[in-house]
Amino acid sequence: MNRIRYTGSKILFLLLAMMLVSCPAAAGRGASLKNIIITNTRDDLIVYLKVQGAFTEKIKKVILSGVPTTFSFFITLYRVRDLWFDKKIADLKLTHTVKYDNLKKEFTVIRPWMHETPQVVKSFRKAQKLMTDVDSLKVASLNILKRGTHYQLRAKAELRRRKLPFYLHYVLFFVSLWNFETDWYTIDFIY
């Protein structure tokens, strides 16, 4: 009887180990934020960034099958205060969505934060660039920042498949395994 329990616990341990290896966090290890640039115009603090390593072969196949896919970018600006909690100045969430039309052989990319109409492109490479790049994002107005003060910008990206209907999500639990999120990236600067 003890031998059966011991074998059962080995199998349970192996199943748990396989589930941990294939978890969503492990799926996005190669994705990261690159080329994060903080600069300003005459009136605003702006940010440039891009996601690198997000389009694995698995994700590319899913997109080419016509499944709408959304990248979310989270950007937060804090004023750093010694001996007290940091003060949140801005908290932004951007979404980029791509959908491939198999009949027309074209990608529709929606980036509502740019107040653009959906962009339709034929090339997967162009759609990928539109999905992964954030250019000239206004984070805060310069008139609310104080010169000589320490600030911190934090950024992160996530890829999520659109939600399935309630019960299908539990039946098809494996479809969420290609979701990913990058680590939080922090940049300290003095304005």
Question: What CA–CA distance (Å, rounded) separates 168 from 177?
Answer: 15
Which residues make Cβ contacts (< 8 Å) with residue 33, sequence separation at least 6?
49, 50, 51, 52, 155, 156, 157, 182, 185
CA distances from 69 to 77, 97, 131 (A): 27, 6, 10
**pTM for this entry:** 0.74
Q: Residues 110-160: pLDDT tens digits?
A: 999 887 789 999 999 999 999 999 999 999 999 999 999 999 999 999 986
Residue 55 has, within 13 A of its CA and on its CB side, a CA count of 18
Confirm if 190 and 35 have CB atoms less than 8 A apart.
no
Q: Residues 41-90: pLDDT tens digits?
A: 999 999 999 999 888 888 888 889 888 889 899 999 999 998 889 999 99
Confidence band of 162 (pLDDT split at 50, 70, 90): low
Domain boundaries, the chain: 2-190
Confirm if 75 and 60 have CB atoms less than 8 A apart.
no
